[in-house]
């Protein structure tokens, strides 16, 4: 039994070849988040799709009716009713999609190392899968505080530090 969810990273866009450590960065970020959050994620599974702006734009248009690319999207899985039996398949947390070009552009604009920004997006997406959101100010503050704490364990500076208050 693992304390961390099984994370499968699927590369669907060739542009990610420019970041050969992306898989390891994502695994490290998800494991750091799982170690801190108060959620039962042991023996659960999730998938992270590394796509491009065109791929994430299609997902954004189809699922959110927003016809433009974004950096990260999360698709929490519906959880089955009742307790699972020993022969049940692992519990799916859901899927995360991350777009290379938007992530690269944001990292460059914010003068952050690419792996720091990718770690932040992986953590952000993971938190959405386990029920966090930022639909109102209080929820956003809670989620951002947790992101800061998780990223801090990875030695990554506060991603919100430069934001105008």
pLDDT tens per residue, range 58-83: 999 999 999 999 999 999 998 766 65
Could you give the CA distance from residue 8 to residue 58 in angstroms, rounded to a whole number? 21
Average pLDDT rounded to a whole number, residues 128-146: 92
Confidence at residue 23, expressed as pLDDT on a 0 to 100 scale = 97
Residue 12 pLDDT more than 80? yes
pLDDT 10s digits, 90-121 = 789 999 999 999 999 999 999 999 999 999 99
pLDDT 10s digits, 150-164 = 999 999 999 998 765
Across 10-14, 34-38, 123-127, 153-157, least confident range: 34-38
Q: For the beta carbon of residue 157, count every other beta carbon within 10 angstroms.
A: 13
Confidence at residue 1, expressed as pLDDT on a 0 to 100 scale = 44
Averaged pLDDT score across all residues of the chain: 91
DSSP H or E stretch at residue 23: helix 22-36
Q: What SS3 state is found at 5?
A: coil
Confidence at residue 81, expressed as pLDDT on a 0 to 100 scale = 66
Phi, psi at residue 73, to the nearest 5°?
-130, 145
DSSP string, 26-42: HHHHHHHHHHHSSS--T
Rounded to two decimals, what is the model's pTM? 0.91
Confidence at residue 59, expressed as pLDDT on a 0 to 100 scale = 97
Q: For the beta carbon of residue 66, count every other beta carbon within 10 angstroms.
A: 13
Average pLDDT rounded to a whole number, residues 29-57: 93
Instruction: Kindly indicate the confidence band of residue 89, based on its pLDDT and cuts at 50, 70 and 90.
Output: low
Confidence at residue 15, expressed as pLDDT on a 0 to 100 scale = 97
């Amino acid at each position: 039994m693992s304390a961390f969810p099984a994370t499968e990273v699927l590369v669907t866009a060739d542009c990610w070849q420019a970041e050969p450590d992306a898989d390891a960065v994502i695994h490290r970020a998800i494991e750091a988040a799982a170690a801190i959050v108060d959620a039962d994620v042991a023996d659960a599974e999730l998938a992270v799709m590394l796509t491009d702006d065109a791929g994430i734009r299609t997902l954004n248009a189809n699922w959110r009716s927003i016809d433009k690319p974004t950096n990260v999207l999360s698709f929490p899985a519906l959880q089955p009713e009742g307790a699972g039996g020993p022969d049940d398949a692992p519990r799916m947390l859901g899927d995360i999609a991350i777009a290379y070009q938007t992530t690269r552009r944001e990292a460059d604009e914010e003068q952050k190392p690419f792996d720091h920004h990718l770690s932040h997006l992986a953590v952000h997406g993971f938190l959405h899968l386990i029920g966090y959101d930022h639909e109102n100010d209080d929820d956003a503050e809670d989620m951002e505080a947790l992101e800061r704490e998780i990223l801090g364990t990875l030695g990554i500076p506060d991603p919100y530090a430069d934001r105008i208050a």
